[in-house]
Structure 1
Amino acid sequence: TLLLLQQYYKIKNKHFMKAATLKALVCHTADDAGSTGPDAFFGWGLLNAKKAAETITANGLGTIISEETLQQGQTFTMTVNSNGTEPLEATIAWTDVPGNVNNGILNSTTPVLVNDLDIRITKGTSTYFPWRLTSDPNSDAANDGDNKVDNIEKISIPAAAGTYTITVTHKGTLVQGPQNFSLIVTGVNSTFTLASLSEDQTVCSNSAAVYNFQHTTTTSENTNFTILGLPAGATGNLSASSSSMNEALTMTISNLNTLPAGNYTIGIRGTRGTDVETKYVNLKVYNDTFQNSTLLSPANNTSGVAPTVQLDWAPSANAESYIVQVATDSGFGTLMVNQEVTETTYFLNNLTPQYNYYWRILPKNRCATATSSTVYNFQTGALNCGQVFSATDFSEATIAATANAVASVPVLVTGGMTVGGLTATIDISHTYIEDMTIYLEGPEAIGSPYIKLFEEPCGDNDNIVATLSDAGIAFSCGATAPSISGTVKPLEPLSNFNNLPADGIWTLYAIDKYNGDGGVINSFSLNFCNVTPSSLTVADSQLANISVYPNPSKGILNVNLPANSGNTTLYLNDIQGRRILTKETSNSNEVLNIDNFSDGVYILTIQNGNLKTTKKIILNR
């Protein structure tokens, strides 16, 4: 039903609803069930696809579906006229930014909203508040004050008549900047509407964006049109400044060469007395001038890199794709990789040990391709393979025959190694191995990274006795036990662990989500290749081999710097490039507390004099 509503909305409006809009629409139009208002048994009621679709059809004349943005400290206001024949109802919903992990208390009454928005409807001296549940699930919902716990709020006025004012505000500070929200209103009427006839536009900055709208009116009164949210430096023109007829209207946005590459939301507003309607369109602008890509890892002049390594760089707002170039000479005369990708990572495999490599990233969009970029150098290390560590603790190795059974076997790895290659050998007895998902998890000191070795393979076949290797073959399911055997590829690459410290407890997990079959982990071992810097000379950099861990982080970040390196400045930016933390230190071991920030990707810049390197940080609690 939700997909059908999205499809119908796109037919009518040339673009899809935001997730919050769809949520608001179906909750707003649901048939109330149980006690009046929302309740703990029926929620907002029973889904009513017909009413939701009719709300889309009538948008602008008898209903309002609007996607808005609330700025810090702003009060959003809309005046509506009740149709006098049905309840006046207004609903807001918003996708809140991530908060802290729940403390595990069942049905906690402590609010956890990060951005708390509030809706009210007023008429004269009367104020109407949204529904909210009480702490007693058997009690009726209340509507005598703010709702402080939900990111969907609905107000119902059963016997409405006349003109009302809808306001949306927020409490405290909006985290991560402006907050988008969606507004649904029914039980109103308007004498005109604007409908978008154009898809969202993506253009080069040397051209213009053209949007078409349809103005529909039920009277001969004049509607005045204005453009909202026009980016500074751009020029906006309307084919008509007002209209009293049913006619098409064109909005042209030009002079885009002054704009930074990025996404822009621009509105056209129609005003007729107290009736106001705004329709927003999205504009994506690219230009043919590129900034050098920010290369993240391997850091420049890093030595001792594993022969399989992930290249990592920061995204660019001016890029639709990236050209990855890798060479063995700094002039890129002979390219060993010249690949176009849309992600901001790229895996290099089968590199020669003890060898110098150079890499760069050239952003590309529909307007042009960058011709130059920052160049980084790294050197693969020498490999010492055959470092085998076997499990000895099988106290938790039994896989129960009940649903959601978990078995685990640890292996302690020592010796100060850096992972340059890894294989895992496992022996698991289990009937119907399709029940199992099997993971390998790295040490807690490096953030407990994990990969999935198998995910419910092979149906009702029995047992796995195999070595997992990136150089293995795709596994096949044998009819006799062990069903999976030999040297086979894991579901996710073991090279994800490359270049990480190996010391600590590694754990093999076997998870069985289903009833009826059980088993045991009989044996488990890990075979490491230790990678070490070679004797080749690379450009000197004090910051080449710093370590930042754990990454992903749960809130605490350790930064290990070279001893006696003097004052070093740490800068933490969010993925939009906004500076959120700066710290100067002369310590060789520095701890950053990033627990107050929202989960996501951040860029840590470490600068010492003229030397600078960057790391991508993932905060995931």
Structure 2
Amino acid sequence: MKQTGLLLLILSLTVQLVQAQPTLTLANRKLSPVLQNNSKLLANKQEQVFWIVASNIDSAKNYFRANNLPVTILQERSGGLLVVRAKGTTLDAQVLSQPFIRFVDVPRQPHEELALSPFDNSLNTINLAHSKYPQLNGSTMVVSVNENKPDTTDIDFRGRYISTPLSSPLISSHATYMSTIIAGGENSFYTSVGVAPAASIISSNFASLLPDADADYRQYNVSVQNHSYGTGIENYYGADAAAYDASTINNPGLLHVFSSGNSGNQTSTGPYAGISNMANITGSFKMAKNIITVGATDSFGNVSFLSSRGPAYDGRVKPELVAFGEDGSSGASAHTSGAVLLMQQYYKEKHNGSLPPASLVKALLVNSAEDKGTKGPDYLWGFGCLNTYEALQELANEQYYSGSLTQGAQQTFSLTVPANTRQLKLTLCWTDPAAAANAPKALINDLDLELVNNGNAQVWQPWVLSPAPVIDSLLLPAVRKKDTLNNVEQITIDYPVAGSYTIRVKGYSIPSGSQAFFTAWQATAADQFQWQLPASVDYVTAGENNLLRWSSTFNTTTGLLEYSIDKGASWQTINNAATLATGTAYWRAPDTCTTALLRMTINGQVFKSDTFTISPIIPVRVGFNCPDSVMISWDRVPGIKKYAVYQLTDKYLQLIAPAADTSFIVSQPGGRLWYTVAPVISNGRYGMKAYTINVTTQGVDCYLKNFLVDLVNNNTASLTAEIGTTYNVKSFTFEKLMPGGYQLLQTFQPGNLAFEYTDNNLADGVNTYRVKIELTNGKAIYSDPQSVYYFLTTRYIVFPNPVHSSGPLMVLMKEESANTYLLLFNSMGQQVLQYQLTQTVESVALPNLQSGIYFMQIKKNGKKEFIGKVMVVR
């Protein structure tokens, strides 16, 4: 009886609990979480934009038309998506209940997710890829930066930005940073080199949150679109997520790359509501399956505190990758987009111009990523840290298989694992059909990956994470089991037995048609060491601490780290017990300009770096900027006898001439305004280029850098001037304007760049000066005039005279007064102007007076204090 009573009590409480739960009507279940949580949007009687997903677009359009509904269709998208303008009340009362309406959402306001300020292309082996694959620069590729518009005048995009109607009218520095990371041309400084420095760039407005039209991607040959923005934490598969999955299906070579977000310390919503520091990816569009979502790390490969974490709303692994983005996941996404461009370029060159399928590129990027943190995939690191060089290596070595499956079918591939393999890694990836908006589970086609050891029949399944909405479960390490959520599956085996293996891919659930897939593989050998920084394309800054970076598969803990600046004839110790596992060390490079080598000695094995350059950063200045010639100069670098001068041309810096001295004159520069210099170390080997300068913005005109005249102690004029160079200067003279013209004050012989003079003989009123520079060829260069105003007997100075009828007429007063007026009279004695003078310097606008002589009075407290004449001209 007691047990029966207890059961009845539990049943009663359960019923009450169920009854207490809020229930959604059929119509409400069609609403996105954004609309469910903001009922005001549907109660709003003002028109706004909605996304409507219909099972049949024609049915929806016919219904709107037949009932004369005030619904304006703005766009039609694949997957039954309609972008409409309507009142929320109209949708709520007359649309939601219709059986062909599946889902309704609203666009949200996107925001940029911080920019990358530090530069480091070594963490993700981008510079190593540049060094080993110098032909890969993105030259045949086009990237779309989906946000606001970058600064199209930035010299690092010179000649490679393509203007299209897709771009936003707003220009932002964030878009400029992202474009530089992806495709900067290294024109301003070496830190502005992008991952794909020859790629073309277009900009696409992110205001709609939906992908561009398929025709737009094809028209502009876009193969990568970078999305470094977010909205808020949105844990559902929205119409936008379905649209991006469909975009990849419709454009098989197009890969969308998203930042994960900068909300890693925030509490989740949706299925993971209330869980802190997890499931906080910023935007439902990032829940798409066929994209890559990228989290951020610092320059040591540690995931940033604010980097948004997974899982996706249905438990899938998100982010897929992490990459360097110390100030936000924006930069991480941009680095990854650049890496994709390099891979696509390589594939195109080997396959007659065809792009690789997006699922192949994704499989290779995931498979080559460096696993960090918890072993196997996790919701913080995804599948690991982007490794651009290894991804290219797998592509170049064709370390992948392709296939296609129907329901219940299976394909197998043979793989031989060599001896001394430290780890074997396999990754299966496929482009999955778009799911229905708001689907509880996004995966449509379910493939299964298995690996079989042919010697003993042992079978390995992929790593799978627990998606249970409990923090302890989400932090559990992955286990080997069947994966029913992800369209990316991965198997790793540490120290596999050498021999023959079989890769099996099964079509477990493919409701219709067939599903294409790719499987990438990697066998990492034990006892391997590789230098990552510096590579041959890198510069080490002379006299400063520089980061060194390497990868190692040795079990040994330390190695001997040394450097040489004499081509290996002798070696100097940096650290006799460098910790190999950290993969990094700091080295204070010698204060010199030369080539150098590094080497690491481990258990008697020696690993030398590529030859790299140690170089100081030299400042470049403008000596003169004259119409017919420009002179640039720089500091001498000890031990360097020759310098290379570069000029910015249509796209890139181009070597124009060698220079034996520390200055160079460019004759007839025309519109070429940008220049830089690098020390020449040896034939074909150059030091670090200086910051590129625009000769018109350095404050130096034709020899004269500045000329200032100041009034000192209310009775003395102090004249100071500076020239950019003494080259070809015969003399320098200060002159003063007198009634008969300019007269010499003092002449200096060249020797210094700065000059001073004091004039103790000021005239009452305006005192005007200029500089005269006489060159050795007899040519004279004059500065613009500069003036000081001296109040000796007068209390007022009025100028210019003559004055243009549009003004202004300047009036200087010795002291401020609250009751002082300027009056102007024409020749007929009629007053044409009255202006109250309240400050010591007044700019008086003229009422577009006729040409002629006007009589002027200045009255203070009604008493006449100053009279004069003013000539007005038109």
- State TM-score, norm by structure 2: 0.20
Instruction: Point out which structure has higher relative CO (alpha carbons under 8 A, 6+ apart).
Output: 1
More strand by share: 1
Q: Larger C-alpha radius of gyration, 1 or 2?
A: 2
More helix by share: 2
- State TM-score, norm by structure 1: 0.27
